[in-house]
Structure 1
Amino acid sequence: MRGRENNPKCFPLMTISYVYPNTADIPQRGGLDIRSRLAKAAGCSFIEIPADLIKKESEVELTGQEFCTFLTPQSISRLYTPTQDFSGAVPYILHTDPALNKQARLRWNDPMWTDRFVTMILDISERFGIPPAKIEIHPGDRRNSFADIAHGVKMIQAGYQDAYGFMPEILLENRTGQFISQGSQIEALWNYVMQNNPELTDSFGIVLDIQQLFTVTKERFLPSLEKIPDGCQKGFHIHRLHRPPQTGDGIPWPEAFARISAIKHDMIINPEIHHNNQVVNVIGFCEANLKSGVSVSHTQ
């Protein structure tokens, strides 16, 4: 199977790059070095690393901080490891807190909260010694608005511009139970951005979690997927309840990959599963389905 060369996969008018996921087999938090080695072995061009709030009892005990609070620089030094091999580091994607716990509410409508969020992720990047290539954020509840999301994106990018002279791409992930979870809501967000913040359209977009969309929409999955504008789709999370997907598992994967294959710009795919020994197989599943998409042809 192709995909071991640590090279993006090139199609006419687009390049697909794979992300090594934050698996349960990797020491959580941690650093870039071990993830970079795993990514290279699997042929991935990016690595995913978590940037959650304090999220486990073990972290409360280690740091002395309360549950679901922003990490302090002292806590970051305990939870993350500095980069040793900068020349071998694979570009990383910060996956920020998805607010799985109600105490971790994402308050994009609160400028002071957003400022503290930006400070925390900048401190994490400082620990690594290099900025992220991309940052994944989540919508939060209905107290947030499209304007709040756009403002948050600009604050994050301004923080990195000031610190590094570089603005990472910001990707919003759809989440079940949050205010942007299905195709019509993503379409409305993108229309808002194009009308009110067109300067963000190149550096902001959606990383679509196919499983999350299916959970929300069920039999309406394909119509919901079709509503999402091509221009905003910058990446995909591929998994079946964080296990390897397979044809016939309930999600219409051939149709989903045909839709992915029709997009004519670069994107990332994160095979978002829990175990290292399954990553390459899920990449193979993606490649096999992408090759069957009628609107693209696979080239080396």
Structure 2
Amino acid sequence: MEEPAVHIPGIVFASFLFQHANRDSDVEGLLLGETHMEQHVTISDTEEDQVRLTQTYSVHKHVCCSQLNSWYDAVGRVDLASLRRVLGADPPERVIGWYRQRRNSEQRMSMRETAVHRSLKAALRRPAAIFLLVTPGAEAGSTHRTEYSAFLSGDRLVPVVLTNMASLDHQAYWTAPAATSAASYRRAVARHSSKLLDASGQLADVDAINAMNSELQRELRMTCGAVADSERALQKMLVDVSTLKRKLGERKSTTVNKDDAPAAKRNVCLQLAVRALLADSPLFATHTLTLDARPVTQVKLRPSPRK
């Protein structure tokens, strides 16, 4: 499942705060921009590739309403005709959500805001529209704070990233310029397009860099696969060596036991035979020998009676 995120340029968010500071009441309006999917692949030597999908909502501009409840009724039903009048020359297809600023309130959607948000998603046929809630306030009359949150629904929060006109943490080049209606931007692009853009209007050098990066990624995956295969083969070899060592030890212990058992049995039989044949021999009756190697029979001496 993709992970949503909202990117708002710093200048757009500053205009939010400027309009709110110059109004005596709450402010609401529509958010215009684009939604795109980003794929982030994490390559590891020990684990499988991890693919993470991020659905990014890029806010390009906002349209402030002159008064509250101007494009929906009291129960939250959206009027498309009133919505188009608020947008003016901007097409409804560029609407990715709406916002509201209210003072000294909690960071949660009210029942009416939830109803309006649900009706707006149905009217625009955009099930993933966002709602941006900005709640400025003051603590003890001196410290001012501004809290902001983005919602996909009444209980699902979306992280908000404030950037300086664009995201600073891009991990890939943009293959197409950002869409804008500024005349100065079009003139600047037209002067330099012959050097940077190809016949189809795409950034040619960026496509070449992306192709090279894709080739490097494929080579890296192949190398990681070869390393993983060699590690698995090494583990299997170590297991086989351990098994052979265990079997060899068991075989050695079995051979030693077989050799020792008959020898011990033969020694017992020999001892019994010698005792049976030479039981009456003087050699078994003494441990003392003469100079001629003759046994001396040991006679127990009785103590002499005392006089």
TM range (shorter): under 0.3
If the length of structure 2 is used for normalisation, what is the TM-score?
A: 0.27
Higher RCO (CA 8 Å, separation ≥ 6 residues) = 1
If the length of structure 1 is used for normalisation, what is the TM-score?
A: 0.28
The structure carrying a bigger strand percent of its residues is 2
